[in-house]
Chains A and B, each alone.
Chain A
């Protein structure tokens, strides 16, 4: 079983829909990252969370440390949101625990 599991693997939505992408992890972590990979391949860091909730524009990320679960929400989705969304966790602050472990990603397609 992978340490970081994302669901769904693929998601197709109509423009304007509210979207939720889930990430579950099986280890203790110091931080969780949400990344966005554009169709051209570039990767952008969206959020870093260690607790609670963060919001940037139409993007909202939440994390529940006790349940080892995080969600990425997109409100009023738009075709330009189409991308692969990747969850990654960092287990600790020193040594090999500082490395990121990545989920396999969620391919989001938003149709006009």
Chain B
């Protein structure tokens, strides 16, 4: 199993450009999420999904769109990139199981995408 695969690993964009960060997992996990990591701020949740066709906003959703057409894929779209979106982006997935089991499911992270907006 490949786990959680993120592409690209690095990207430089100009302000106003659009792009899609790809995330795929092969573990049949229902729950997928996108985080951004900025110095001194820890990981912050952008959007998440609890299954195909279901997405919801996290802590910092503005400027980002997501969709979940399949269980495996959870792309993150920047419609009009801004310098404030310069960050490292992580995709993660986990199984949901029952409500009681959810807390005991490990979170699997991708290797991250380092994005710079000029």
Contacts and interface: CB of A to CB of B under 8 A. Distances in A.
Interface of A: 2, 4, 30-31, 33, 35, 40-45, 48, 50, 86, 88, 90, 93-94, 98-100, 102-105
Given A43-B90, A93-B99, A93-B102, A102 B44 contact: yes
A105 B102 contact: no
A104 B40 contact: yes
A105 B45 CA distance: 16
B111 interface: yes
A61 to B, nearest CB: 14
B104 interface: yes
Given A102-B42, A104-B40, 18 more contacts: A30-B103, A40-B111, A41-B112, A41-B114, A42-B109, A42-B111, A43-B90, A43-B92, A43-B112, A44-B109, A45-B106, A45-B108, A50-B103, A50-B104, A86-B42, A93-B99, A93-B100, A100-B43
B28 interface: no
Most chain B beta-carbon neighbours within 10 Å: one of A44, A99, A100: A100
A104 B42 contact: yes
B10 to A, nearest CB: 11
12 contacts: A30-B103, A41-B112, A42-B112, A43-B90, A43-B92, A43-B112, A45-B107, A88-B43, A99-B48, A100-B43, A100-B45, A104-B40
B58 interface: yes
